[in-house]
Amino acid sequence: MFNLRSLQKNKTVRYGVPMLLLVVGGSFGLREFTQIRYDAQKIRKRLDPALEARVDTERQSVILEEEYEKMKQSNLDEWRNIRGPRPWEDSREYQEQQRRRDN
């Protein structure tokens, strides 16, 4: 009985141990909650198997030489760099200005 009362009055036991349990327990708890979040994102990003197979075959069928030949055939002399509208500009108004400049 005497030892229990002395432990209750001890500041380390009264404040330190609960704080330590809170910090260590919170660390493990946060790890579990963040793991659930990343697992849910991984499931959401998964593609349909048929679509994924189609995408993989398209990636494999691209040949560098064929793409080079396509680029050689394109006419780069007539190419113009047209910037998009800034966030504060009205996009329709800017498109109209670009059309007027082209004509």
pLDDT of residue 103: 63
Between CA 59 and CA 67 the distance in angstroms is: 13
Q: What are 92-101's pLDDT values in tens digits?
A: 887 788 778 7
Q: Which is more confidently placed, 99 or 69?
A: 69
Report the greatest alpha carbon distance in the chain. 98
Place of tokens 């979040």: 37
> Does residue 31 form part of some domain?
yes
Q: What are 28-63's pLDDT values in tens digits?
A: 989 998 998 888 888 777 767 777 777 766 666 667
Domain extent, residue 66, equals 2-74
> Does residue 57 form part of some domain?
yes
> Does residue 103 form part of some domain?
no
> Does residue 81 form part of some domain?
no
> Does residue 20 form part of some domain?
yes
Q: For the chain, how many structural domains are there in total?
A: 1
